[in-house]
């Protein structure tokens, strides 16, 4: 099923593996690699690191109005450039590096960066650098294609609540989320992903340390690293998009891994994961 922003762990791992390969540095300014972003007035100071850890200050595109519009035109194919045009119709949130705000647009930029550096489609790079090394054979980043659902059979349908009714959101073309949230996966594959991400299995030691260095998330107890969050000792990511919610987390201290996938977007996967974690801790201490 669709896993939403858990995709960001995949994209971050790709970028960090390219860092280890010497193709770029975390503190490179994005203009150095994608000069065409100057047309969108991306400010100086937006680095690869700041895109990964959500401190770039870039405007975002996933407003409530935008998401509701997906249900009206579910078959629309969105290109990365179109998504950034929507984002940059708004204003820069803050000067790069001075604050923190969740930003899907930043991960669209990172997807463009991956394709530029690799001269290949991001879905193929993900297969080579992440999915195959980890044995994630049921996971993919769907290609940008016309038409509706790219979920393979057998599949769960996803539902979005509108007022008092449930709307089937399964057929929404996932191109709108691209490298910010379009991955399709299973609970078993996400376990492989989150455990490897938390341990740094695919990364050099210094790169993994950089990945796990977090910035405080305002008004929460959470910290956000390079595409991975610290949920009070459980490292991973959550995801939400029309019809689906997800959570994948690993606690290195206890060896506990929790993956939650739901096919109704008003049922919080985070809440279910926290409940399960508390129950497991209670059971372990009794």
The residues, any chain, with a CB within 8 Å of residue 44's CB and separated by 6 or more, are 29, 31, 96
Strand, helix or coil for residue 260? strand
Helix (H) or strand (E) holding 115: helix 104-118
Q: Taking a C-beta distance cutoff of 8 angstroms, is the pair 229, 213 a contact?
A: no
Q: Taking a C-beta distance cutoff of 8 angstroms, is the pair 251, 228 a contact?
A: no
Q: Taking a C-beta distance cutoff of 8 angstroms, is the pair 245, 4 a contact?
A: yes
Is 5 annotated as catalytic?
A: yes
Q: Within a 10 A sphere around the Cβ of 124, how many other Cβ atoms? A: 13
Q: Which residues of 236-261 are buried (b: 16+ CB within 10 A; e: fewer)?
A: bbbbbbbbbbbbbbbbeeeebbbbbb
The residues, any chain, with a CB within 8 Å of residue 128's CB and separated by 6 or more, are none
Task: Name the residues annotated as catalytic.
Answer: 5
């Amino acid at each position: 099923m669709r896993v939403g922003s858990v995709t960001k762990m995949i994209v971050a791992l790709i970028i960090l593996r390219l860092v280890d390969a010497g193709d770029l540095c975390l503190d490179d300014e994005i203009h150095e690699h994608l000069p065409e972003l100057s047309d969108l007035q991306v400010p100086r100071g937006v680095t690869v690191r700041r895109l990964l850890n959500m401190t770039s200050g870039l405007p975002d595109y996933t407003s409530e109005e935008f998401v509701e519009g997906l249900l009206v035109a579910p078959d629309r194919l969105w290109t990365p450039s179109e998504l950034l045009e929507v984002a940059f119709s708004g204003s820069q949130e803050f000067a790069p590096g001075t604050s923190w705000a969740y930003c899907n647009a930043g991960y669209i930029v990172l997807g463009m960066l991956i394709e530029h550096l690799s001269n290949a489609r991001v879905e193929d790079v993900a297969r080579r650098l992440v999915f195959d090394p980890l044995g994630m054979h049921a996971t993919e980043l769907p290609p940008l294609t016309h038409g509706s659902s790219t979920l393979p059979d057998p599949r769960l349908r996803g539902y979005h609540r509108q007022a008092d009714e449930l709307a089937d959101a399964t057929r929404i073309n996932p191109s709108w989320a691209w490298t910010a949230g379009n991955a399709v996966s299973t609970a078993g594959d996400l376990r492989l992903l989150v455990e490897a991400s938390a341990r740094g299995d695919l990364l050099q030691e210094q790169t993994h340390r950089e990945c796990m260095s977090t910035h405080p998330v305002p008004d929460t107890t959470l910290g956000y690293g390079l595409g991975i969050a610290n949920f009070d000792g459980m490292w991973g990511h959550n995801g939400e998009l029309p019809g689906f919610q997800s959570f994948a987390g690993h606690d290195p201290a206890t060896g506990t891994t929790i993956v939650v996938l739901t096919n109704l977007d008003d049922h919080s996967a985070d809440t279910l994961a926290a409940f399960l974690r508390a129950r497991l801790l209670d059971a372990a201490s009794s």
